[in-house]
A and B are shown apart, each in its own frame.
Chain A
Amino acid sequence: MQKNIILAGVGGQGILSIAAVIDQAALKEGLEIRQAEVHGMSQRGGAVQSHLRIADHAIYADLIALGTADLILSVEPLEALRYLPWLAPGGRVVTSLDPFVNMPGYPPMEEIVAELGRTDRPVLVHAADIARESGSARASNMVMLGAGAPFTGIAPEKLEAGIEALFASKGRETIDINIRAFRKGLQLSNT
């Protein structure tokens, strides 16, 4: 088993929390992990991405080679498009449809959706709405983790355990909101 996942978004949108949940679940499964992330200047409202690789055998490189990503999981629709050169034939794009506009020239949503539509069965998610239904708009990254879960190679229960662990210090209510958000996202991809 080997999965190459690109997590994409804008600095501060919580892609590192998504990575942390997958990392912990993979570690518990005894898998090998490499997860490269961006710190420093570009974090301030810039495009951020994380290359996440999990396998049941040795992994050498921290970066994913072009055309070999099984999944692009993005919390922002334009950011999902930025990493298309990495997508493997048959790889899937799972993205939120909530635009984060902090620069001039942000393209119209229809054009973004049209580009996303050229990929193989994209999963497009109104993450913020679903997160609010779950109890907090801040949980939209967990909605996206749920929507991407079937393509990660890790069982949803294991990811839920990872969410429990990540939010353990924040109290039961926060854990429940995030688990609900995760399950609603998961439902979208499973139907």
Chain B
Amino acid sequence: MSPPGSLVAALQRHVQSTCRHPEFRHGLRDMAPMVPGLAAWGLVTGVAMVRSGLDPWLALLMSLTVYAGSSQLASLPLIAVGAPLWVVLLTAFVVNLRFVIYSAQWRFYFGHLPRWQRVSLGYFGADMCYAMFMRRWSEPEPQPGQVPYFAGGAFVLWAGWQLPSILGIVLADGVPAQWGLGFAGTLALIGLACSLLVDRATWVCAGVAGAAAVAAFALPYKLHIVVAVAAAVAAGLMMERPGGGGGRPIGAVQPARRSS
């Protein structure tokens, strides 16, 4: 059994060697151009959290722990109307499903690491980190320098998000509620949703989701979101049918297994 002191020292050495690695600085440099856009979205999320009625301390806790803009923004209207816990969590889970796809990719690079490291790396592997990392390391296999590179990019991403988000929390209190600044959060979600409209099947999926959400709006517990997701996913999958496998492949594409 090691005393806590030596554990801290080991962690310190680990962090130091990661930060001194040349790939760490490479990661910092690659993520830097993303900062302005990231900062604007962080600011919007900070303002939206407080404007939705969340206590500033809870908003701060949310920013520092949840650390996922789209699921934060999506859950705010649900928290504001007092939707049941499971509906809020299920909605956030569904909005976050894209990360499940990313995690299939991350596995190729980090699958050999101990579980706590896999989970910690995953937590910081937000959208932009994923996009940046996959561009730099396009071969899906572990290589030295990948973890420092990831850490460099994730550090810039984390700071470039948290600082503006906290600034937004502080500033939001000084803005009159009737200005409706929280609408910026809805606009951020609109931008994100539009970026997912890539082919006919996704357009149909979005149309069905919107219509079903309005039609089922009177359901209790904000269940209209669950109904809309089920209907829209079914519609999307049916749209793929005629072409067979249609749409682009997503996530990790596994090599076909030959039996012969």
**Do A and B come from the same complex?**
no
Binding site for B on A (CB under 8 A): none
Binding site for A on B (CB under 8 A): none
